[in-house]
Amino acid sequence: MAEIYPSVGGEKLERHIARLPGVSAHLDEVQFEIAARAEELLLQHRQEGHAKIDMLTGDIDRYVVLDDERGKKAALSIEYGRAESIVVKEAKDGSTYLDVIPASDGLFILARAANLPKKRKGKVHLD
């Protein structure tokens, strides 16, 4: 019977396999395919043109990221949507008024691009 060792040269077996050239190349291909689909989906919904799709590479993992750092920092709202909110704004004359920001459904750009189930996350509070 074969015996499987949990490590190779002191490195976890999973980590060793993930670093093999063929596996690494396949991860790069899958990352590119997901990023291309995400960019296509994002272009269908672009309003102001600030959000973009980025590809990042970690030590082993590959990431496809929805980045809106240049815009309203709304990547979370773009992906998952947002509830209606009321904010206090200041007019040019110094008076204040209430402004209603309408609810918005999520576009699930990354989830759809990666063929993952579309699930709205629990309440997220960004303070």
Percentage of residues in the chain with pLDDT exceeding 70?
93
In this prediction, residue 127 carries a pLDDT of 44
Query: How remote is the C-alpha of 31 from its chain's centroid?
Result: 13
What count of Cα atoms within 13 Å lies in the side-chain half-sphere of residue 53? 23
pLDDT digits (tens, 9 = 90+) for 36-80: 999 999 999 877 778 999 999 998 999 999 999 877 788 998 899
pLDDT of 97:
92
> What pLDDT, on the 0 to 100 scale, is given for residue 120?
61
pLDDT at 121: 58
Per-residue pLDDT averaged across 97-106, rounded? Answer: 90
Q: State residue 64's pLDDT score.
A: 97
Most confident of 6-10, 25-29, 89-93, 122-126: 25-29
Closest CA to 27 of 65, 58, 53, 66: 58
